[in-house]
Structure 1
Amino acid sequence: MGKYDLLAKDIIKKVGGKDNIVSLVHCVTRLRFNLKDESLADDEALKHTEGCITVMHSAGQYQVVIGNHVPQVFADVCNLANIKTEAAPEKKRMSFREKSLDLISGIMMPAIGILCACGMLKGLNSILAYLGLYSDADGIYILLNAIGDSIFFFFPVVIGFNTAKKINMNPFLGLIIGAALCYPTINGTDVPLFGHVINTTYTSTLLPVILIVFLAKPLESFFNRVIPDMIKTFITPMLVLLIALPIGFVVIGPLANMLSNGISQSVLSVYKLNPIIAGFLVGGLWQIMIVFGVQIVLVVLCITNIIAGTPDPILAFTTFVTFSTTGMIFAIWLKTKDKSLKQIALPAWISGFFGVTEPAIYGILLPRMKQFVLSCLCGAFAGAATAALGLKYHTMAGMGLFEIPALLDPAQPGRSLIYSLIAASVSLVVGFVVSFVTFKDEAPLNTKDEDTSEKYKKDVIASPINGKVMALDQVKDAAFASGTLGQGVAITPTEGKVTAPFDGTVVMLFPTKHAVGLMSDHGCEIIIHVGMDTVQLSGKYFEAHVKEGDRVKKGDLLISFDKDAIEEEGYSLDTPILVTNTKDYMEVIAINNSGSTVHCGDDLIAVL
Structure 2
Amino acid sequence: MSHEKLAKDILALVGGKENINNVFHCVTRLRFKLKDESIAKTEELKDLDGVVTVMKSGGQYQVVIGNHVPDVYATLLKVGNISATEGQDAGGEKEKVGPLSAFIDMISGVFTPVLGVLAATGMIKGVAALILALHWVSSTSGTYNLLNYAGDGLFTFLPIFLGYTAMKKFGGTPFVGMALAAALCHPSLSTLSSGKALYTLFSGSLFESQIHVTFLGIPVILMTYTSSVIPIIVASYFTAKLENGLKKVIPDVVKTFVVPFLTIMIMVPLTFLAIGPISTWAGQLLGAATIWLYHLSPAVAGILIGGLWQVFVMFGLHWGLVPIAMNNLATLKYDPILATSVMVCFSQIGAVLAVMLRTKNKGLKALTIPAFISGIFGVTEPAIYGVTLPLKKPFIMSCIGGAVGGGIIGALGGKLWMFGGMGVFVIPAFIKPGSGLDLAFWSSIIALVASFIIGFILTFAFGFKDKEEKTTKAVQPNESRVLEVKSPLNGKTIPLTAVKDAAFSSEAMGKGIAIEPSEGKVYSPVNGIVTTLFKTRHAIGITSEDGAEILIHVGMDTVELDGKYFEARVNQGDVVKAGDLLVEFDMEKIKEAGYEVVTPVIITNTPDYLDVIPAQNSKISIHDTALTVLV
TM-score under structure 2 length normalisation: 0.70
Q: How far 1:201 moved relative to its partner? A: 1.9
Whole-angstrom distance in 1 between the partners of 2:421 and 2:218: 47
Q: Note if 1:4 corresponds to 2:6.
A: no
Structure 2 vs 1, CA of residues 247 and 511 (structure 1 numbering), >3 Å: closer, same or farther? closer
Q: How far 1:360 moved relative to its partner? A: 1.6
**1:124 matched residue in structure 2:** 127
Structure 2 vs 1, CA of residues 460 and 376 (structure 1 numbering), >3 Å: closer, same or farther? closer
SS of match in other structure, 2:120:
helix
CA contact (8 A) 1:544 1:560 kept: no
**1:25 matched residue in structure 2:** 24
Please show how residues 454-493 of structure 1 align to structure 2 within 5 Å. Answer: 490=476, 492=478
Which 10-residue stretch deviates more, 12-21 or 94-103? 94-103
Indicate which of 425, 430, 452 corresponds to 1:428: 452
Which 10-residue stretch deviates more, 366-375 or 39-48? 366-375
**1:334 matched residue in structure 2:** 357
Query: Where does the alignment leave 5 or more consecutive residues of structure 1 unmatched?
Result: 446-457, 462-487, 499-509, 514-542, 549-557, 562-574, 577-608
Q: How far 1:202 moved relative to its partner? A: 1.6
State the Cα deviation string for residues 532-562 of structure 1 (Å, max 9, x = none): xxxxxxxxxxx993579xxxxxxxxx9999x
Please show how residues 432-581 of structure 1 align to structure 2 within 5 Å. Answer: 432-442=456-466, 490=476, 492=478, 545-546=546-547
Q: Note if 1:191 corresponds to 2:185.
A: no
State the Cα deviation string for residues 212-269 of structure 1 (Å, max 9, x = none): 2222223222322222323222222121122112121111111111111111111111
Whole-angstrom distance in 1 between the partners of 2:106 and 2:11: 25
- Percent identity, aligned pairs only, is 40
Whole-angstrom distance in 2 between the partners of 1:138 and 1:559: 65
**1:105 matched residue in structure 2:** 108
SS of match in other structure, 2:90:
coil
SS of match in other structure, 1:295:
helix
**2:416 matched residue in structure 1:** 393
**1:410 matched residue in structure 2:** 433
Q: Note if 1:167 corresponds to 2:164.
A: no
Equivalent position amino acid for 1:29 in 2 = T
Structure 2 vs 1, CA of residues 124 and 442 (structure 1 numbering), >3 Å: closer, same or farther? closer
SS of match in other structure, 2:188:
helix
Aligned length: 475
Please show how residues 233-252 of structure 1 align to structure 2 within 5 Å. Answer: 233-252=256-275
Whole-angstrom distance in 1 between the partners of 2:396 and 2:79: 40
State the Cα deviation string for residues 394-435 of structure 1 (Å, max 9, x = none): 001111111112111113332355443332122111111111
SS of match in other structure, 1:11:
helix
Q: How far 1:459 moved relative to its partner? A: 7.0
Equivalent position amino acid for 2:156 in 1 = F
TM-score under structure 1 length normalisation: 0.73
Please show how residues 227-238 of structure 1 align to structure 2 within 5 Å. Answer: 227-238=250-261
Indicate which of 121, 138, 144 corresponds to 1:141: 144
CA contact (8 A) 2:220 2:272 kept: no
State the Cα deviation string for residues 558-605 of structure 1 (Å, max 9, x = none): 9999xxxxxxxxxxxxx99xxxxxxxxxxxxxxxxxxxxxxxxxxxxx
CA contact (8 A) 2:374 2:380 kept: yes
CA contact (8 A) 1:330 1:349 kept: yes
Whole-angstrom distance in 2 between the partners of 1:213 and 1:559: 50
Q: Note if 1:205 corresponds to 2:228.
A: yes
SS of match in other structure, 1:34:
strand
**2:44 matched residue in structure 1:** 45
**1:217 matched residue in structure 2:** 240
SS of match in other structure, 1:192:
strand
Query: Whose radius of gyration is greater, 1 or 2?
Result: 1
State the Cα deviation string for residues 306-346 of structure 1 (Å, max 9, x = none): 12243101100011100011100111011111112112222
CA contact (8 A) 1:337 1:441 kept: no
Whole-angstrom distance in 2 between the partners of 1:355 and 1:76: 25
Q: How far 1:359 moved relative to its partner? A: 1.4
Whole-angstrom distance in 1 between the partners of 2:254 and 2:609: 65
CA RMSD of aligned residues (A): 2.9
Equivalent position amino acid for 2:376 in 1 = F
Q: Note if 1:270 corresponds to 2:293.
A: yes
CA contact (8 A) 1:59 1:293 kept: yes
Q: How far 1:196 moved relative to its partner? A: 2.4
Whole-angstrom distance in 2 between the partners of 1:258 and 1:240: 24
Q: Note if 1:177 corresponds to 2:200.
A: no
